[in-house]
């Protein structure tokens, strides 16, 4: 498990990891590079300029000045609404919700304004807004600061929903988001901020972008397909490694974007393995896990050797107390159990 | 102000009135179904006074009662009516009541009360960041000023000195509730103090008063001095929507308000000032009625969109 120290400053980086880009730094780099390339990109949010709480926007105020890095009051409706208006006016705003959960305060501006104005006006306006949403549990931050709410927005037409799980994905997807013209919700998992990653050679290129709707197969396998997002990708990889010792071959797929969702890659995998586990922190009821399973059963029902299993938050407000939080959120152990279940069913 | 401008003001007010009637008729005659038209009868002076005080490049954000500003900003009556009759020849290709024309500086909002206020504030932010001396004008009702969206936008516009004119059309009713029932103070404009911006109440049935107030606020905004709040006091002579039986207000009250109709008032004023004679006014009005009639024919004879258009314009 990753450490529960979200707000810790100056934590030591293991020497062997020093050369590797971090997840947090990757987002920062993407923003800085794209802001240097395109003057219309602005960053807005609470404390994003002078004191970014998780450090993602650190240094941007110095580099780009207060006209492009705007500290806002605690006013989520107008943070999003003003970004929508500025986007229609030709800017490319990136809005940070200090915690993704706070987007609930501004939901009308997201699902009715940002997402629908193009449709309602018969295609006359574009709304290229990116909303950054620190999300996820495992940090003991409590029910109002630890949810993974993307299922709400995948449900809503007109939005792109991204869930990068590595530094490379975070950077590449952010750069793509800033070069396209639709509203984007960019979910970044808080527990991943400190993590560091091996990256492909192209990572440092000015045009390193990752397309929307393209899943990544993180690991090939023939017995079970595990679809996982964000931190769960890494837990799934660990579970797969453990099971390899027992002769179970697990394929792990990270969709990377939930809207659009690359169902083809998932279907191809399930047609091969015949077994499916979907693991995500989202609430299970009407959650993304069920959506993925439905897409598979509609198209590859006859390929399934056992009932698909979904793992997620069973419908409990993410608990504040660490021991209770652990009881609710999927982990390596629970993923292993779920995989075994598909094998024995 | 020259006579020509005053005559144009009257012409646009008349056009709003008669074109809107055509929309209402289309519903009453069952040519269109669905959400009944939301007419702004009695509020024409606010739209015309405000929009004619603006310049090219300025941007207006409408409410669900958005017909007035659309006409007042000079949009094509044929295409406006086509849109609200769901015909492919409309600006929105007949896809919604949110009639929009970026070229005319009109964004049709209004499905969610007050939602246009933050969006307009963002448009003003884009003007400021691009050093454009343009202003953004969200129209909203007195009901909307109780939305959190209004408060957040007003505060942000004030601290960032954004070129916004918060234009509250106080038509006395939020569907069935009368002003005094949901606002504990005498005026919406008084709320401006809380944001450190100028706030004025004007007679919204006096087109010249609205014109003057908006012109002043726009000049201030263009100088970089920030937003203003204008409350234009008027009265919704129409129902909330067509088919509104109006049980919530006495008929006598509505009848009395008809005597204060902004169009009647302005006609009398132009006549007494010698700008137009009675015959000339009648001629102007019959010309406007012809335009409205022609627009109704245009909308009626225009095609609906093919079903596959339901699936377009979701993403850019």
Inspect the interface and report whether the beta carbons of A89 and B149 lie closer than 8 Å. Answer: no
Q: How confident is the model at residue A18 (pLDDT cuts 50, 70, 90)?
A: confident
pTM: 0.96
A1 — pLDDT class (breaks 50, 70, 90): low
**Percent of chain A scored above 70 by pLDDT?**
97
Using a CB-CB distance cutoff of 8 angstroms, which residues of chain A are in contact with residue B112?
108, 112-113
Assigned CATH for A15-204: 3.40.50.970
Mean pLDDT of A305-321: 97
Q: Which residues from A are below 8 Å from B when comparing CB atoms?
A: 42, 67-68, 70, 72-73, 75-78, 80-91, 93, 108-109, 112-113, 117-126, 128, 157-158, 180-182
The predicted model gives A243-258 an average pLDDT of 97
* Cβ neighbours of B100 in A, within 8 Å: 120-122, 124-125
Question: SS in 3 state form for A76-133?
Answer: HHHHHHHHHHHHHCCCEEEEECCCHHHHHHHHHHHHHHHCCHHHHCCCCCCCCCEEEE
Supply the pLDDT for residue A2: 64
The 10s digit of each residue's pLDDT in B73-119 is 999 999 999 999 999 999 999 999 999 999 999 999 989 999 999 99
- CA distances to A13, A276, B231 from A306, in Å: 43, 8, 66
Mean pLDDT of A132-149: 94
Kindly report, residue by residue over B164-219, the tens digit of the pLDDT.
999 999 999 999 999 999 999 999 999 999 999 999 999 999 999 999 999 999 99
Cβ separation of B316 and A83 shorter than 8 Å? no
| Rounded Cα gap, residues B189 and B176, in angstroms | 22
Query: Which chain B positions have a beta carbon within 8 Å of A75's beta carbon?
Result: 152, 155-156
> How many Å lie between the alpha carbon of A295 and the closest alpha carbon of chain B?
20
Residue of chain A whose alpha carbon sits nearest to that of B124: A86
Is the pLDDT at A145 greater than 80, yes or no? Answer: yes
Could A121 and B155 be called an inter-chain contact, meaning their C-beta atoms sit closer than 8 Å?
A: no
pLDDT of A281:
96
B227-247 mean pLDDT: 95
Q: Where are the domains of chain B?
A: 3-295
Q: Does domain A216-344 have CATH number 3.40.50.920?
A: yes
CA atoms of B249 and B113, how far apart (whole Å):
22
Structure-model confidence comparison of residues A6 and B112, the more confident one? B112
Complete edge-to-edge strand list for the sheet that includes strand A69-71: A69-71, A41-45, A92-96, A130-135, A184-189, A160-162, A257-259
Structure-token pair, residue B285: 């009005």
Burial class of residue B146 (count of CB atoms within 10 Å of its CB; 0-12, 13-18, 19+): middle
pLDDT of residue B70: 98
Selecting from B117, B152, B313 the residue whose C-beta is nearest the C-beta of A118 gives B313
The partner residue sitting opposite B156, judged by closest CB among A68, A82, A125, is A82
The answer on pLDDT for A34 being more than 70 is yes
Q: For A121, which of B98, B136, B315 is closest by C-beta distance?
A: B98
Each residue's pLDDT tens digit, B267-300: 999 999 999 999 999 999 999 999 999 999 999 9
CATH topology of domain B3-295: Rossmann fold (3.40.50)
Identify the pLDDT of residue A11: 73
Q: What is the pLDDT of residue A14?
A: 84
ipTM: 0.96
Q: Residue A11 in contact with residue A54, Cβ under 8 Å?
A: no
- The per-residue DSSP string of B281-296 comes to HHHHHHHHHHHHHHHH
Distance CA A338, CA B310 (A): 41
**What residue ranges of chain A are covered by domains with CATH 3.40.50.920?**
216-344
Helix (H) or strand (E) holding B168: strand B165-170
pLDDT at A223: 98
**pLDDT tens for each residue of A64-101:** 999 999 999 999 999 999 999 999 999 999 999 999 99
Instruction: State the pLDDT confidence band at A6, using cuts at 50, 70 and 90.
Output: low
Please give the interface size between A and B, counted as residue pairs whose CB atoms are below 8 Å apart.
150
Please provide the average confidence, as pLDDT, over all residues in chain A. Answer: 96
CA A325 to chain centroid: 20
Mean pLDDT rounded to a whole number for chain B: 97
The structure tokens listed for A165 are 């799980």
Q: Is it the case that residue B243 has pLDDT exceeding 80?
A: yes
The pLDDT score that the predictor gives to residue B288 is 98
pLDDT of residue B110: 85
Mean pLDDT within A270-288: 97
For A120, which of B95, B121, B129 is closest by C-beta distance?
B95
Do A121 and B148 count as a contact with CB atoms less than 8 A apart? no
Q: Encoding tokens for residue B205? A: 């049935």
Query: What is the structure's pLDDT at A15?
Result: 87
Q: In whole angstroms, how far apart are CA A218 and each of A148, A250, A265, A287, B261?
A: 22, 10, 12, 23, 70
How does pLDDT run across A209-250, given as a tens digit for each residue? 999 999 999 999 999 999 999 999 999 999 999 999 999 999
CATH 3.40.50.970-classified regions of chain A: 15-204
Q: How far does the CA of residue A103 sit from the closest CA of chain B (Å)? A: 14
Which residues of A are the active-site residues? Answer: 145
Q: CA-nearest residue of chain B to A91? A: B126
Neighbours of B120 (CB within 10 A): 32
Check: CB of residue A131 under 8 Å from CB of residue A76: no
């Amino acid at each position: 498990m990753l450490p529960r120290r979200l707000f810790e400053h100056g934590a030591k980086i293991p020497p062997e990891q020093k050369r590797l880009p971090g997840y947090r730094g990757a987002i920062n780099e993407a923003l800085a590079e794209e802001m240097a390339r395109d003057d219309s990109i602005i960053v807005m949010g609470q404390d994003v300029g002078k004191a970014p709480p998780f450090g993602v926007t650190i240094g941007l105020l110095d580099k780009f000045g207060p006209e492009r890095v705007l500290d806002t009051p605690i006013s989520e409706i107008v943070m999003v609404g003003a970004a929508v208006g500025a986007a229609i006016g030709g800017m490319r705003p990136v809005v940070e919700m200090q915690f993704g959960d706070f987007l609930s305060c501004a939901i009308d501006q997201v699902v009715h304004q940002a997402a629908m104005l193009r449709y309602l006006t018969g295609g006359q306006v574009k709304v290229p807004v990116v909303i950054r949403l620190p999300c996820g549990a495992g940090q003991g931050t409590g029910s109002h600061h630890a949810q993974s709410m993307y299922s709400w927005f995948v449900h809503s037409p007109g939005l792109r929903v991204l869930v990068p799980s590595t530094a490379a994905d975070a950077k590449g997807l952010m750069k793509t988001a800033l070069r396209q013209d639709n509203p984007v919700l960019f979910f970044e998992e808080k527990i991943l901020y400190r993590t560091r990653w091996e990256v492909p050679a192209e990572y440092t290129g000015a045009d390193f972008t990752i397309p929307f709707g393209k899943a990544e197969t993180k690991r090939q396998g023939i017995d079970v397909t595990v679809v996982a997002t964000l931190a769960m990708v890494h837990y799934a990889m660990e579970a797969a490694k453990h099971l390899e010792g027992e002769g179970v071959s697990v394929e792990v797929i990270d969709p990377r974007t939930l809207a659009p969702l690359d169902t083809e890659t998932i279907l191809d995998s399930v047609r091969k393995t015949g077994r499916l586990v979907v693991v995500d922190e989202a609430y299970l009821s009407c959650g993304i896990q069920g959506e993925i399973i439905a897409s598979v059963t509609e198209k590859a029902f006859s390929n399934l050797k056992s009932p698909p299993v979904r793992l997620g938050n069973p419908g409990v407000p993410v608990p504040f107390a660490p021991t209770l939080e652990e009881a609710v959120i999927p982990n390596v152990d629970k993923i292993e159990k779920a995989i075994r279940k598909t094998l024995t069913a | 102000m020259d006579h020509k401008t005053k005559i144009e003001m009257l012409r646009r007010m008349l056009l709003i009135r008669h074109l809107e009637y055509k929309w209402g008729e289309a519903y009453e005659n069952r040519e269109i179904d669905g959400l009944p038209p939301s007419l702004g009868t009695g509020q024409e002076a606010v739209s015309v006074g405000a929009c004619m005080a603006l310049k090219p490049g300025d941007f207006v954000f409408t409410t669900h009662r958005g017909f007035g500003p659309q006409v007042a900003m000079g949009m094509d009556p044929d295409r406006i009516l086509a849109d609200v009759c769901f015909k492919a020849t409309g600006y929105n290709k007949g896809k919604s009541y949110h009639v929009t024309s970026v070229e005319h500086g009109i964004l049709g909002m209004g499905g969610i009360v007050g939602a246009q206020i933050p969006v307009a504030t963002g448009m003003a932010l884009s003007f400021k960041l691009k050093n454009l001396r343009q202003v953004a004008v969200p129209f909203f009702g007195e009901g909307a000023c109780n939305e959190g969206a209004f408060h957040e936008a007003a505060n942000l516009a004030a601290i960032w000195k954004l070129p916004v004119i918060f234009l509250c059309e106080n038509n006395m009713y939020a569907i069935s509730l009368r002003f005094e029932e949901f606002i504990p103070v005498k005026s919406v404009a008084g709320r401006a103090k809380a944001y450190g911006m100028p706030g004025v109440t004007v007679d919204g049935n006096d087109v010249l008063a609205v014109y003057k107030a908006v012109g002043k606020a726009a000049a201030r905004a263009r100088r970089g001095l920030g937003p203003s709040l204008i409350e234009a006091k008027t009265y919704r002579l129409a129902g909330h929507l067509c088919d509104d039986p109006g049980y919530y207000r006495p008929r006598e009250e509505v009848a009395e308000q008809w005597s204060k109709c902004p169009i009647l008032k302005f006609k009398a004023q132009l006549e007494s000032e010698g700008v137009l004679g009675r015959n000339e006014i009648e001629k102007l009005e019959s010309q406007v009625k012809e335009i409205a009639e022609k627009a109704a024919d245009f909308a009626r004879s225009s095609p609906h969109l093919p079903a596959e258009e339901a699936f377009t314009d979701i993403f850019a």
